[in-house]
Structures are given as C-alpha cells and as structure tokens.
Amino acid sequence: MSLKLVKITSYYKDFLSYYYEKNTEIIDQSYSDQHQHLMKQRFAWSDAYADAFSNLGYNAHEIVANARPLQKRWCEQNNQPIDTDKEIVIQQLKKLKPEVVWMQDSYTFNGVFVKRLRKLVPSIRLVIGNCCSPISPQYYESFKAFDLITVCAPYFKALLESNGLPECLVIPHAFDHRILEEINCTDQVNHDFLFTGSIILDQQFHNDRIQFLEALIQQNIDINLLINLNQNSSKGLAIRQAAYVASRIFKTSGLNIINQKIEGLNKVSKLEFFPRASKVSKSLSDRIKSPVFGLEMFREIANSKIAFNVHGDIASNFAANMRMYEVTGMGTCLLTDWKPDIDNYFKPDEEIVTYKSLEEAKEKVTWLLNNPTELKQIGLQGQKRTLQKHTFESRAKVIDSKIKQLLSIN
C-alpha cells in the first residue's frame, strides 16, 4: 500500500524576502511551477524528504505554509478563499487526503490545530511533530497532540520525553546529494576560511557563536563572514517586550484566552524570559557581508578550503548543526566545535577537524592551510562519510520504519 505523506514547514522570513526580491516574476507563474522553482533553491530541507519518501514508495508532498505568493496562487487555482496560513493548509490537506502529516514547523502547527485537523481530514492516521530549536515548557501541552516527534539531537528527546511528551525519534540533519549535480564544483577556491550562518540577537541563543567570531576577528584571523545578522529594530523589540508584558497580565488575570486568540500574543506568551537583545561589536559587524541562502550558500562552501561551525547555545553537549552535513557533503573541510558525541557522526582529524577552544581553532586553521594535501583529504573523507551515512534517504528509511511500526504495516 502506498502511503500519502505531507510535510508542512515554514521558511525563514529573511530567506523568503531574499527569494521574492530576486525572483519578482515568479509570482505570476502557476502553483506547480512556483513550487518547483522554490524547491530548486535548496533552502534548508527543500523537498529532500519528499523526494526520499517518494523513492521509498510514498506519495509525498511538501507544503511551505508561509510562502504567501505560492499559497495565494494555490487558492486561486483551487477556488479557495485567500485565508490565513493555517486555513489554507487545512484546505490543501482536505484535497490531498494524506494518511501521514509531518509538521516540521511544530511551533506554528500544534495543539488545537492538530486536533481540529484530525476531525476535518479523516484520512489522517498519524501526525508527526518536530523539535530542533529552543522550546518553552509552555509548548509541552500543545506538543502532546502529536503521535511522534522527530528531534535532531538526544538532548531534545530526553527533555521532551521526561516531561511526558510522545515518543521522540532522533533524526539528525542530513545532506541532499542532488546539490552536487546542480552545482559545478570546480577546484577554483575563492576563500581560505568561511563562516556562513545566522546570528539571532533577540533570543540570546547565539552568545557562544558571537563570542567565538568576535575573538577570531580580534586575533586578525582572515575569515569570510556571510551572516544573516537578525537585528530587529529597537521599535520591533519594544513591541515584543510590550506584548510579553501584556500576555503576562492576561495570563495572571484569568484572560489567557486572549493570548490564545491573538497570534502575536500567543507566541510571546510562551517565552520563558523578557525579550532582550544581544549585541555584536562594530569590528565584527563591519566585517559581515550579505548572507547567502540555498544554492548560493552551497557554492560559497564549495569554493572555500575550510568552513567554520560553532553550535548554538541550546545544542548543549550534542553535535546537532545542519551545517556539519552541508559542509562535508560539499567536500569542504569542516572545522567544528568538539562535542562528546561527535564521533557518532564523523571521525575527528580524519573526516572533520574539531576544536575545544579559540586557541585550538586558530592553531588548526593555520595547520590546515599550511598542509593543503591533508586538508583536501579530510574534506574528501568527510564527504565520503556524509554520502554514505548522512543523506536524507538514510534518514527517511528510519522514519519510514517507525511510521510502519506505528501504523502496524508489515
């Protein structure tokens, strides 16, 4: 029996702005053409899981719930009102009639929405959630609506299951091998040392990343910084702070229903702390170039000798960053912060290079650049491991086995 699976996600708003500004003509195309074009940007997971599950015999689909021009076109083609993200998703699932729904964006789609979805789309037999970023205890009750939760590190599995949530399945991030066919990887190297990623200031979970990058700059390390510096305006921060205070007043006054009804209040009400912003120094901000996403990011990685990785603060003692697989998949040498479980994924000093301190990171960058043969060999060995063990196909097989177990399918 062929199962129909739909994965629902939301993309970073910064990427969507970047994408639609670069591709203004795309909004005039059909839903199918728009969707295909967006997926071929290879941002985040793209449709890698839909492709992997299709190869396993599923009828698999990918919905990007907050890509408004794309979703608007779906509504127009299907004679549906242009409604909220959630209402459009419901209409899409009514038409698709899936047995399995995987909410990659479980922070938006959970709780009451999932319960309502089960009633409106009776074909659904299994709803899977996902967690791989900081989670407030106030989400715990909402996450109980899922039958299974995928997590990217054992830290999240232990945290959620110990608090009475459904079974969690550890599914580390992965690499989409199709990218190697879509990018002309030559021996042309533009940069010795690269960091590409985000620095989110108003949630304070990139403090370690900021400190390391600041220190590298202070030490005059020549590093190419392509960073999405998520600097919300002071006005925006003030609005979130005011909303946080208002949500607390409603909660303590027995009016929490107001928080639940208003999307903005609902989100800030689940924060465990008063919104505050971190800061970066002028010396760091002056070195930062415009961010790149998707295929452009992968080209930058391929054209660098070494790519630097430092986990967010919430990773705890687990190696969980997606960048580990993106860098090694492209055959570039990965320099990443050491974690106790890192050798579950790669062999340090053979397939990747690790560091435990700023001084060690500096020493290893210098050594690698002075030993190009060894540097290239580590990159190739890392790529070999990723293509053998860390592809979306290998991850999908694990999820497929659990789905069939939960649905009692032989």
Tell me, yes or no, whether 382 and 401 share the same domain: no
Helices 358-370 and 207-218, interaxial angle, to 10°? Answer: 60
Give the pLDDT of residue 233.
40
Tell me, yes or no, whether 169 and 182 share the same domain: no
Question: In angstroms, what CA-CA distances link 362 with 312, 334, 378?
Answer: 20, 14, 17
**Domain termination residue (choose one: 216, 243, 268):** 268
Domain housing 319: 178-232+277-389
Tell me, yes or no, whether 189 and 107 share the same domain: no
Q: Residue 374 sits in a domain of what CATH number?
A: 3.40.50.2000
Give the pLDDT of residue 234.
41
Q: Residue 107 sits in a domain of what CATH number?
A: 3.40.50
pLDDT, tens digit, for every residue of 143-202?
999 999 999 999 899 999 999 999 999 999 999 999 999 997 666 778 999 999 888 766
Tell me, yes or no, whether 256 and 338 share the same domain: no
Low-confidence ranges of the chain (pLDDT < 70): 1, 185-187, 201-206, 230-278, 312-316
Tell me, yes or no, whether 40 and 150 share the same domain: yes
Please state the domain count of the chain.
3
Sequence-ordered alpha helix ranges (H) in 194-322: 207-218, 234-252, 256-261, 263-268, 282-287, 294-302
- Rounded to whole angstroms, the Cα distance separating 128 from 161 reads 15
Give the pLDDT of residue 150.
98
The identity of residue 398, as a single letter, is V
Q: Edge-to-edge, what's the strand order for the sheet holding 148-151?
A: 59-64, 4-9, 100-103, 126-131, 148-151, 168-170
Strand (E) or helix (H) holding 54: helix 48-55
Rg of the chain over CA atoms, in angstroms?
Answer: 22
Question: In angstroms, what CA-CA distances link 225 with 195, 218, 290?
Answer: 5, 14, 8
Can you give the pTM of this predicted structure? 0.87
Give the pLDDT of residue 235.
46
Tell me, yes or no, whether 199 and 135 share the same domain: no
Tell me, yes or no, whether 299 and 227 share the same domain: yes
Tell me, yes or no, whether 72 and 127 share the same domain: yes
Tell me, yes or no, whether 192 and 120 share the same domain: no
Tell me, yes or no, whether 214 and 299 share the same domain: yes
Tell me, yes or no, whether 292 and 337 share the same domain: yes
Tell me, yes or no, whether 296 and 260 share the same domain: no
- Rounded to whole angstroms, the Cα distance separating 145 from 129 reads 9
Question: What are the residues facing 334 on neighbouring strands?
Answer: 307
**Domain termination residue (choose one: 218, 243, 268):** 268
Length of the chain, in residues = 410
